[in-house]
Amino acid sequence: MHLIIDARCQNQQVMTDKHLLSKWIIRLCHVIGMTPVGPVHTISFPFPGSDKPAISACQFLGESAIVAHPYPEFDYMYLDVFSCKEFDTEKAVEFIQRTLKVTESTIHLFQRGIDMETRAPVPLREVRLEIEEKLRILDAGYKAGLHQFGG
């Protein structure tokens, strides 16, 4: 599975502090039942046109990897959760939206992999459509809840 989220976020602390971003990624691993392998790798680098450095983070997993690219000056984060193992995408999205204080997002979910017995692509179109519909409902409900509480 490959969950990709492009999000407008209000949690500047997580997006600007390498230590807090690392702790947040480890929490996400535990929420979705993934196995961190080694420490979270974070880097700072000059962001063109900005006086503040950008940071990126990658947590390798026993199941694959989580990568985060926050752009705090734009209140934006790109996030990839890639796993060879199925995980609760609704729980992942809820955690991400709540803890990053997401105000707007685009969510994509892809099924990845090859059926190793037949070497054919895994026939998951119906599953993918069902999951995408659940994510649309979850995202719409989250946005409606924000408006209800003045967000």
Contact 89, 34 (CB under 8 A): no
Consecutive H or E run containing 85: none
Q: How far apart are the first and last CA of the chain?
A: 31
The pLDDT score that the predictor gives to residue 46 is 82
Q: List phi, psi (to 5°) of 118.
A: -105, -10
How much is the pTM? Answer: 0.73
How confident is residue 97, by pLDDT bands cut at 50, 70 and 90?
Answer: very high
Q: What percent of the chain has pLDDT over 90?
A: 59
Residue-range domains of the chain with CATH: 2-148 (3.60.90.10)
CB within 8 Å of 118: residues ≥ 6 apart: none
SS (H, E, C) 25-74: HHHHHHHCCCCECCCCEEEEEECCCCCCEEEEEEEEECCEEEEEEEEHHH
pLDDT above 70: residue 6: yes
Question: What average pLDDT is seen over the chain?
Answer: 83
How confident is residue 122, by pLDDT bands cut at 50, 70 and 90?
Answer: very low
